[in-house]
Amino acid sequence: MLQTVIIGAGVMGLSIARQLETTHRNVQIIDRSTPRMNASYAAGGMLGAQNEFFEDTSLYRLAMKSREMMPETAQALQRETGMDIEYQKYGLIKVASNLKDIPTLEKQLAFLQSHDHSIKALSSSEMTKRFPHLDLDQSAAFKIQDDGQINANIYTQALIQSVLKRPSVSLMTHTETYGILKENEGYTVQTSKGDIKADELIIAAGAWSGALLNHLDIQLPTHPVKGDVKLIASDYNGLKETIFNVNGCYIVPKKPNRFLIGATSEFDNWSTENNDDNIKWLDRESQRMIPELAHSHTIKSWTGIRPITPDEVPIMGTVRPNLYVTTGHYRNGILLSPIVGELMAKLIDGDTKAHATLAPFTP
Ligand SMILES: Cc1cc2nc3c(=O)[nH]c(=O)nc-3n(C[C@H](O)[C@H](O)[C@H](O)COP(=O)(O)OP(=O)(O)OC[C@H]3O[C@@H](n4cnc5c(N)ncnc54)[C@H](O)[C@@H]3O)c2cc1C
């Protein structure tokens, strides 16, 4: 039996573990499980395959396929674990609430409409109805019908339950990796709970992936983008779609009577504490779009560290024989996880088609 080790129990490591062929391998997932030192539990859960893209790239195409896979993934997780990841498809309204952001919005709309005629700008009367408090001369919006959302926190927990149902997969939590050594054809992973031998090693450690590869003298930089998020409860019932402002502030309706308000973006910030000014910005910007949300109470606020690469394109594939990496999914890791899990698992098993699909992201 092959011993396969995955470092990182975020959505990437778990999605690969869920898809790996286990007739000839044991899979050991390792995670240090330090609260807030991850992204997957922190995410808004938007499946923004169209919201996030301005041009036709390999990543856009993967994102569109992955969005399509999410309903089936949600059903499979429900069957396997009994957990409901709250998949919803009420669409997303993209808003520019400042004059300077309108050209960006229009550019994106032109690109999206060239692929999808269902995407429409909101008319003046729709704008007035939706956003009565925005200055109509300074704002614009369009609606994407098909960008849904899930509960990212429950999704990550469901992936854990799902992989643990596989007899050949195990998870070591509260286990920090502090070194990696090359050994013959494989690797030795040095952890806080002792050394672990790996015939195959997969680094899926989010923003920390680059630091782990450094142990093997491999330079593959990954950086953190810290985000502040909050969850509020409100009786406001006028919103089913996600609202996403070009300035980065979004409102994602969650069950029951809750709204996830995100998110700030601070590059190269590893801190795990909420920043008061950032939380005030979230309140101000979300209430500019939906003033009724001022009548709410905060359930909790938190932070997460998004993994980004210098060119903002994820890195996915083979680094060296029996050494693989997947990281840098920045704001779209939840969305991309179904397809990345499938492709990386196939690539590790030598599938040439998966290898070709992942070629634009090769380390
Ligand atoms: C505020 C916020 C909002 C977001 N919103 C969305 C969204 O709406 N839609 C979307 O698609 N994406 C969103 N994202 C992005 C998404 O969450 C990430 O791209 C994705 O979760 C990355 O997954 P990952 O598995 O690569 O990393 P992580 O979830 O960070 O997992 C990496 C794991 O590696 C472990 N690890 C690291 N180093 C070590 C070590 N030395 N030893 C042991 N374990 C280690 C960590 O403990 C962690 O559990 C958001 C992110 C944030 C922070």
Span from the CA of 37 to the centroid of ligand 1 (angstroms):
8
Q: Is the pLDDT of residue 180 over 90?
A: yes
Q: Is 260 in the pocket of ligand 1 (CB under 6 A)?
A: no
pLDDT tens sequence across 234-275: 999 989 999 999 999 999 999 989 999 999 999 999 999 999
Q: Is 206 in the pocket of ligand 1 (CB under 6 A)?
A: yes
Q: Is the pLDDT of residue 72 over 90?
A: yes
Residue among 331, 335, 339, 361 to mutate when testing ligand 1 (max atoms within 8 A of CB): 331
* Index of the ligand 1 atom closest to the CA of residue 333: 19
Q: Is 210 exposed, middle or buried (0-12, 13-18, 19+ CB in 10 A)?
A: buried
The per-residue pLDDT for 104 is 96
Quote the CA–CA distance of 102 and 112 in Å, as a whole number. 15
Share of the chain above pLDDT 90, in %: 96
Span from the CA of 334 to the centroid of ligand 1 (angstroms):
9
pTM higher than 0.85 for the full model? yes
- Interval 345-353 mean pLDDT: 97
- Interval 151-157 mean pLDDT: 97
Q: Is 266 in the pocket of ligand 1 (CB under 6 A)?
A: no
* Index of the ligand 1 atom closest to the CA of residue 13: 25
Q: Where are the alpha helices (DSSP H) in the chain?
A: 11-19, 58-81, 102-115, 124-130, 152-164, 209-214, 276-289, 333-348, 352-357
pLDDT tens sequence across 6-21: 999 999 999 999 999 9
Residue among 41, 334, 344 to mutate when testing ligand 1 (max atoms within 8 A of CB): 334
Q: Is the pLDDT of residue 176 over 90?
A: yes
* Residue ID of nearest Cα to ligand 1 atom 2: 43
- Interval 226-234 mean pLDDT: 97
* Index of the ligand 1 atom closest to the CA of residue 326: 26
Q: Is 5 exposed, middle or buried (0-12, 13-18, 19+ CB in 10 A)?
A: buried
Q: In angstroms, how far is CA 129 from the centroid of its own chain?
A: 32
Span from the CA of 36 to the centroid of ligand 1 (angstroms):
9
The mean of the pLDDT values for the chain is 97
- Interval 282-305 mean pLDDT: 96
b/e 287-314 (16+ beta carbons within 10 angstroms → b): bbbbeebeebeeeebbbbbbbbbeeebb
Q: Is 231 in the pocket of ligand 1 (CB under 6 A)?
A: no
pLDDT tens sequence across 90-108: 999 999 999 999 999 999 9
Q: Is 304 in the pocket of ligand 1 (CB under 6 A)?
A: yes
Q: Is the pLDDT of residue 35 over 90?
A: no
Q: Is the pLDDT of residue 36 over 90?
A: no
Q: Is 329 in the pocket of ligand 1 (CB under 6 A)?
A: yes
Q: Is 15 in the pocket of ligand 1 (CB under 6 A)?
A: no
Strand partners, 259: 232, 253
